[in-house]
């Protein structure tokens, strides 16, 4: 049995799971689920998330989970828990947050009363639930679970167990995110230093990379660009060291670091990183296509800011094609790419193409347009009309985009600024100036691409009415960026 388990690990990437499982038909359900769990873990570590999810689903159908009350009828609760744990872990790894939350809650409900509270199965369930809640942005609930179960997990499993490391990292992150900045950063940096100096560093590198990434995000949220860059550089170095330059996780680290480099003004470094991603060999999996699309989307905006309009539009269209292929036309990320492509076409002066692309995608999506998707499309269409001189049409689309974003709880400063410009150009001077000037501070803090555009609009307007002093003031702010 142990030999078969080792062979599973060796052959994971060489044969489909069903072929391997066909050789284990005579095994007990519990042993079969254990093998499935090991196989799923191998897939996750190798970055094959689609396969990991498929294997987890096979585990669930291999042994149907049963609540504790039914164990007397012959169902094996251990096998059920193995199957449910594998499915929850696979959903978490693949980013299917709603499904992961459902699976973790179901897993813990099944485990309740069957396993002790200091049993590794109960503790791993609590950590998995907290991880999913953290990914969903439910910081308060995630922190509450972590404060309750991190120390028991460390005591039962040891400080360097994978679940313990996840709990320790997320506890630092959630403390930082919920206002305890110093405590949170202290936990994260102490954990990083512990793993960097550990004799087991080569074994624990995935946790070390995750900690560097979390620290980078934390520095970014605190406005500490140097710290963010340093952490993401370390994350990338670890990915290259242990997974190679073209592994999906390595490519994801390059995209993340490129975003940091752009924010720090290192445009050349960002371009280099993104080109390495889009030129890397691809296995055409959904995960690989997602990463390529993210890199092309970043390149689109980077080319736009570097005054390369044709390259900008080409990159945005490539991102759109990849997302439509990988995620389908109705996915929110695909809609985001539609909005980006329309916006960058407008900025490149290709107004007719922008309007055509918008109309084509509206027709393609039909009734499948959700609020977030529609907001992005309306924003791109409004900008196209604004640049094309159709100010009434621009106002209609931009105000729809703003209302949709407000309903979704999203910020509207950039949209409000565009509405202000449309009002100003259509003759509503008072209303237009109020919106344009009222949003400048927010746009500046956000480092929004809209900020210099708004300054230009205000400077041009004051020039047109003979107020050269005000115009010079806005242009000096533009030059001082």
Which residues make beta-bridge pairs with 115?
Answer: 112
- Residue 148's pLDDT is 95
Q: pLDDT tens-digit profile of 69-119? A: 333 344 456 777 888 888 888 888 777 788 889 999 999 998 988 889 889
Average pLDDT over residues 148-154: 95
Q: Does the structure show a pLDDT above 50 at 1?
A: no
- Residue 369's pLDDT is 56
**Helix 351-365 and helix 371-388: axis angle, to 10°?**
160
Specify the higher pLDDT residue, 332 or 386.
386
- Residue 43's pLDDT is 56
Q: Does the structure show a pLDDT above 50 at 53?
A: yes
- Residue 71's pLDDT is 38
Average pLDDT over residues 265-269: 85
Instruction: Answer yes or no: are the C-beta atoms of 277 and 251 closer than 8 Å.
Output: yes
Average pLDDT over residues 152-162: 94
Contacts of 41 (CB under 8 A, 6+ apart): 52, 86, 89
Q: How far apart are CA 326 and CA 49, in angstroms?
A: 14
Q: How far apart are CA 26 and CA 386, in angstroms?
A: 69
Average pLDDT over residues 203-210: 89
Segment 185-191 long-range contacts (CB within 8 Å, at least 24 positions apart): 185/215, 185/218, 188/214, 188/215, 188/218, 189/215, 191/165
Q: How far apart are CA 170 and CA 142, in angstroms?
A: 9
- Residue 373's pLDDT is 66
Instruction: Answer yes or no: are the C-beta atoms of 297 and 305 closer than 8 Å.
Output: no
Q: pLDDT tens-digit profile of 449-461? A: 788 888 989 998 9
- Residue 432's pLDDT is 92
Contacts of 79 (CB under 8 A, 6+ apart): 29, 30, 32, 33, 63
Average pLDDT over residues 445-470: 86
Q: pLDDT tens-digit profile of 353-408? A: 888 887 788 777 655 556 766 777 788 778 777 877 788 888 988 998 898 888 87
Q: In this structure, what token pair is assigned to residue 218?
A: 């934390």
Q: How confident is the model at residue 3 (pLDDT cuts 50, 70, 90)?
A: very low
Q: Is the pTM of this model over 0.85?
A: no
- Cα 341 vs. chain centroid, distance in angstroms? 20
Q: How confident is the model at residue 10 (pLDDT cuts 50, 70, 90)?
A: very low
Q: pLDDT tens-digit profile of 338-352? A: 878 888 888 888 888
Kindly report the CATH number that applies to the domain delimited by 198-275: 1.25.40.10
Percent of the chain with pLDDT over 90: 28
Percent of the chain with pLDDT over 70: 81
- Residue 451's pLDDT is 85
Domain residue extents for the chain: 198-275, 412-481
Q: How confident is the model at residue 7 (pLDDT cuts 50, 70, 90)?
A: very low
Q: What is the DSSP letter of 70?
A: G
Q: pLDDT tens-digit profile of 125-140? A: 999 999 999 988 888 9
- Residue 354's pLDDT is 83
Q: How confident is the model at residue 40 (pLDDT cuts 50, 70, 90)?
A: low
């Amino acid at each position: 049995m142990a030999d078969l388990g080792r062979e599973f690990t060796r052959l994971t990437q060489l044969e489909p799971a069903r072929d391997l499982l066909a050789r284990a038909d005579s095994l007990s359900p519990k042993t079969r689920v254990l093998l499935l769990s090991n196989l799923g873990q191998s897939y996750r570590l190798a970055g094959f998330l689609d396969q990991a999810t498929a294997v987890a689903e096979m585990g669930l159908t291999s042994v149907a989970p049963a609540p504790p009350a039914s164990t007397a009828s012959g169902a094996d609760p251990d096998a059920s828990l193995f199957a449910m744990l594998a499915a929850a872990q696979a959903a978490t790894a693949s980013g299917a947050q709603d499904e992961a939350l459902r699976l973790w809650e179901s897993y813990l409900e099944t485990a309740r009363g069957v396993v002790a509270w200091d049993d590794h199965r109960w503790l791993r369930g609590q950590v998995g639930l907290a991880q999913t809640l953290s990914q969903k942005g439910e910081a308060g609930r995630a922190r509450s679970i972590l404060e309750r179960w991190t120390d028991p997990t460390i005591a039962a499993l040891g400080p360097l167990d994978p679940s313990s490391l996840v709990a320790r990292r997320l506890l630092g992150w959630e403390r930082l995110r919920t206002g305890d900045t110093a405590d949170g950063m202290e936990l994260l940096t102490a954990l990083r230093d512990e793993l960097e100096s550990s004799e087991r560093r080569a074994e624990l590198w995935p946790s070390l990379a995750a900690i560097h990434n979390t620290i980078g995000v934390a520095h970014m949220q605190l406005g500490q660009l140097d710290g963010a860059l340093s952490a993401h550089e370390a994350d990338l170095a670890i990915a290259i060291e242990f997974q190679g330059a073209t592994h999906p996780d390595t490519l994801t680290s390059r995209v993340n670091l490129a975003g940091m480099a752009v924010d720090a003004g290192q445009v050349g470094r960002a371009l280099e990183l993104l080109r390495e991603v889009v030129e890397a060999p691809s296995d055409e999996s959904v995960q690989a296509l997602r990463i390529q699309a993210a890199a092309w989307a970043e390149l689109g905006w980077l080319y736009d800011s570097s005054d390369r309009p044709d390259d900008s539009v080409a990159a945005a269209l490539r991102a759109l094609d990849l997302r439509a292929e990988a995620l389908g036309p109705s996915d929110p990320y695909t809609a985001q790419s539609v909005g980006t492509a329309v916006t960058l076409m407008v900025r490149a002066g290709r107004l007719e193409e922008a309007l055509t692309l918008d109309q084509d995608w509206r027709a393609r999506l039909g009734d499948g347009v959700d609020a977030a998707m529609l907001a992005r499309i309306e924003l791109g269409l409004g900008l196209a009309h604004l640049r094309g001189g159709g100010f009434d049409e621009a106002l209609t689309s931009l105000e729809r985009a703003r209302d949709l974003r407000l309903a979704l709880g999203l910020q509207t400063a950039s949209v409000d600024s565009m509405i202000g410009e449309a009002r100003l150009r259509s003759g509503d001077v008072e209303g237009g100036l109020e919106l344009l000037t009222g949003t400048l501070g927010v746009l500046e803090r956000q480092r929004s691409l809209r900020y210099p555009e708004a300054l230009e609009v205000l400077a041009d307007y004051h020039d047109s009415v003979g107020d050269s002093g005000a115009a010079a003031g806005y242009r000096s702010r533009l030059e001082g960026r």
